[in-house]
Structure 1
């Protein structure tokens, strides 16, 4: 077990994120002793495992008490410690809203992106779905047309902001589509953001641009679930 712990810790530090389907990641999610040892190793260097059962990846992040020692005693890092400008952060939140909120609604109701509209009486017993079956992409051209002028200009969004978000792992850009990156659902706090977006000003901005805001009642199911009631990971074969 020692070698596997060392291997997983090193890989997490090197790659920053790993898929939930990874063998050692799955062990950390289902083996309590292994997870406790992993948490101790990460905590020893001021880190913690970022794990969201609805996300397709896990990642590592700083413990809260390490923010100021690492990023400095001033509050300059409060807006972003990734070098993102205010416009780029706003773009990230918009993309998160348009990809993750509808995705979470599909995961909670156990529906796919392509759904026949028929109810499934056994849907609640299914494992939480991940990947392309529930996470839909956005048209890059439509996103820029709808929000580019508000976020520093269409050229800036297309040539700089989206590229930066892709390099950081928040999104992937493929054939004119913006897809969920490995960090989009695990690095941004759903419990903190969802209610503020659905009931806040951004919901009006999205609606004005013709984007449907997911039903708040459906999303509340995921938001209020205590940790013990979240869907279990599949055990290793």
Structure 2
């Protein structure tokens, strides 16, 4: 088991994410003992496993209690450890709201109609959508028309979009933006979705004709950051 754990942790650190269908990823999701050892190994380094039954990948991020130590406090607080400036973080949240929120609504509705409650704490070997859920691409030009000027103009918009693609948050094809491996993992849906839907961005998205999913019941704890941190 130790060798398998070492390999899995090393791969997650090196690649930042691995497919859910990978044999070691599947083992981490369905083997209770292996999962416990993995979580203990990661916790010793201040990390936690990032996965949800709707995502096609798994990844690792900082444990919440380590955020102050990594990012500092007050005026020295860093927004992330990926080198993303504030306008890139804003663009990331906009893209997440346009792609993940509508997709999640469809996934939840499909799971409910199938009577799939995902009661198993370790999840299934495959995400709820079983790989069939492919979020439609969002036109780059449309996002720029709505938000580009507020996000630094054409040059900054293009540079930030390229950075998000390089980090695995999005995939760009034929002037369309698609979900990348990390988009549904690095942002905490339960914490951010209510703030978007009930806040100013939700109003902007509604005005632009984008349908967004209903927010889950909030647990009362406000998130300071939108992006979970990788290695």
With structure 2 as the length reference, what TM-score do the two structures score? 0.82
Residue number in structure 1 paired with 2:170: 171
Residue number in structure 1 paired with 2:206: 207
CA contact (8 A) 1:107 1:134 kept: no
Instruction: Give the unaligned 5+ runs of structure 1.
Output: 112-120, 225-237
Residue number in structure 2 paired with 1:124: 115
CA contact (8 A) 1:139 1:176 kept: yes
CA contact (8 A) 2:72 2:78 kept: no
Instruction: Give the unaligned 5+ runs of structure 2.
Output: 118-126, 219-231
Q: Say which structure is richer in helix.
A: 1
CA distance in 1, matches of 2:131, 2:153: 31
| Structure showing greater Rg | 1
Taking structure 1 as reference, are residues 165 and 190 closer, same or farther at Cα in structure 2, changes over 3 Å only?
A: same
Q: CA RMSD in A?
A: 2.4
CA distance in 2, matches of 1:2, 1:86: 40
Residue number in structure 1 paired with 2:87: 87
Taking structure 1 as reference, are residues 72 and 204 closer, same or farther at Cα in structure 2, changes over 3 Å only?
A: closer
CA contact (8 A) 1:145 1:154 kept: no
Q: What is the CA-CA distance between 1:130 and the residue it aligns to?
A: 5.2
Taking structure 1 as reference, are residues 91 and 76 closer, same or farther at Cα in structure 2, changes over 3 Å only?
A: same
Count the aligned residue pairs: 210
Q: How does 1:1-237 map to 2 (within 5 A)?
A: 1-72=1-72, 75-110=75-110, 123-125=114-116, 128-129=128-129, 131=131, 133-158=133-158, 160-208=159-207, 210-216=208-214, 219-220=215-216
CA distance in 2, matches of 1:130, 1:166: 24
CA distance in 1, matches of 2:22, 2:135: 20
Cα deviation, 1:27-65, whole Å, max 9, x if unaligned, reads 101111000111111112221111122111111112223
CA distance in 2, matches of 1:71, 1:215: 31
CA distance in 2, matches of 1:203, 1:174: 26
Taking structure 1 as reference, are residues 196 and 188 closer, same or farther at Cα in structure 2, changes over 3 Å only?
A: same
With structure 1 as the length reference, what TM-score do the two structures score? 0.80
CA distance in 2, matches of 1:74, 1:90: 20
